[in-house]
Structure 1
Amino acid sequence: MTDGADRPSRAEARPLRADARRNRERILAAAVRVFTTQGLDARMEHIAKEAGVGSATLYRNFPTREVLVEAVYRNEVAQLCDAAPELLARESPAEALRAWTRLFLDYVTAKYGMIDALRAIAATGGNPYGHSREMIQGAIASLLDACVAAGVIRTDIGPADVAAALEGIALTSAGAEHREQAERLLDLTLDGLTVRR
């Protein structure tokens, strides 16, 4: 049994035409950029303009700011998690893990741009987070399993440990102005996972 937050909206339940799907993807991408820089001050009309669509198209897809924020957040989580197998398909396990941690920073930066809106949704009984923690730990687990199989990282560290470390780095170093520091801390964390030969 799933909660209501995990059920797709009517707009998501039926397949979209190719042009409608492109518009939706452009709106979500534009909303990430705008929310990241402007937070709750972001105006829906600005997001529509940034996406290159009319306000009517924006509101047809996302009738309220809350619906848009939740869709953006869920889309960011899905993209982050989908990146794990894609990276493993084209990179060595260690490089895939390293690249994915950078994507995690991007995800957290976008999330913090929307944090007040996400909290407001949660305060009204919504559940924008759904199963995001489990999904992210699942992605981390797949990366760690590949690294362990390749013999490049320790076997005594689990996905929850890595997730906690990444969240800690993100909490203290999220934001473009701290990006270099965050990447140094990520490298330090990943070096700590490396098997010493």
Structure 2
Amino acid sequence: MPRIPGQIDVAKTEAILDAAVEVIGERGLAAPMEAIARRAGVSKQTVYNHYGSKADLMRALMTRRVESITASLREPGAVDNPTEALEAYARSMLETVVTNKSYSMMRVIMLGAGEMPDVAQEVFEAGPRAARRQLAAFLQMETELGRLKVENFEEAAEFFSGMVMGHSQMRSMLRLPSDKTPEEYGRLAREAAVRFMRAYAP
């Protein structure tokens, strides 16, 4: 059966990104690209063909992560069901926090930020800042439709994210066990969405 054009490239891209999460989580930001290539089962040149530098690779990792977290804001019906969209967004953030591989990588990025500030900047811009901007854009759209009354979209996005994450993020960064069950995280996400919608009701 002939392969679909680009199919193998997509598979290699995902393999490289998955390997990068694991290797960087284990060895830190200074992990060589060769180690990532070995874990992904591709050549070092293939990694460089996809990502010309460590900063490019980290940008791609963060972009993939943000796309996953913010997917609910782009789904059909999200505009008509902002509470459900925000609840799903909150659940995605919380699921990311309790994923060991994801936060192992974030811990080592923080530790290596002083030595590789350019990579740290890429992580921040393509990760947290990009996610907040997408949430802010969603809040602006809902405000223009009359379902919310938000004056400062970036600020409101920051408020919502902070309300959801609370101490969960810090517990994960410190490698402390979660103090909530998946059901409790679900209730937290729902409560945050409902309270936020109530606070910014038109």
Q: TM-score range by the shorter chain?
A: 0.5 to 0.7
Match of 2:187 among 169, 184, 187: 184
Match of 2:26 among 21, 40, 43: 40
Q: How does 1:39-58 map to 2 (within 5 A)?
A: 39-40=25-26, 53-54=41-42, 56=44
Q: Which runs of 5+ in 1 are unaligned?
A: 1-15
Give the structure 2 partner of residue 86 of structure 1: 74
Report how far residue 192 of structure 1 moved: 1.2
Aligned residues: 175
Q: Which runs of 5+ in 2 are unaligned?
A: none
Contact 1:84-1:142 within 8 A present in 2 as well: no
SS at match of 1:130: helix
Match of 2:17 among 17, 28, 31: 28
Q: Aligned Cα RMSD in Å? A: 4.2
Give the structure 2 partner of residue 97 of structure 1: 86
Q: How does 1:119-134 map to 2 (within 5 A)?
A: 119-124=110-115, 125-126=117-118, 127-128=121-122, 129-130=124-125, 132-134=127-129
Match of 2:133 among 114, 119, 138: 138
**Shift in alpha-carbon separation, 1:152–1:30, aligned structure 2, 3 A:** farther
Report how far residue 99 of structure 1 moved: 1.4
Q: Name the TM-score, length of structure 1 as normaliser.
A: 0.61
Give the structure 1 partner of residue 108 of structure 2: 117
- Residue type of the alignment partner of 1:39: G
Give the structure 2 partner of residue 13 of structure 1: none
Report how far residue 40 of structure 1 moved: 2.8
SS at match of 1:143: helix
- Residue type of the alignment partner of 1:167: G
Report how far residue 118 of structure 1 moved: 1.5
**Shift in alpha-carbon separation, 1:169–1:100, aligned structure 2, 3 A:** closer
Match of 2:162 among 164, 167, 174: 167
Q: Provide the C-alpha distance between the structure 2 equivalents of 1:192 and 1:150, rounded to a whole number of angstroms.
A: 19
**Shift in alpha-carbon separation, 1:47–1:80, aligned structure 2, 3 A:** farther
Q: Name the TM-score, length of structure 2 as normaliser.
A: 0.59
Q: How high is the sequence identity, in percent, across the aligned residues?
A: 18
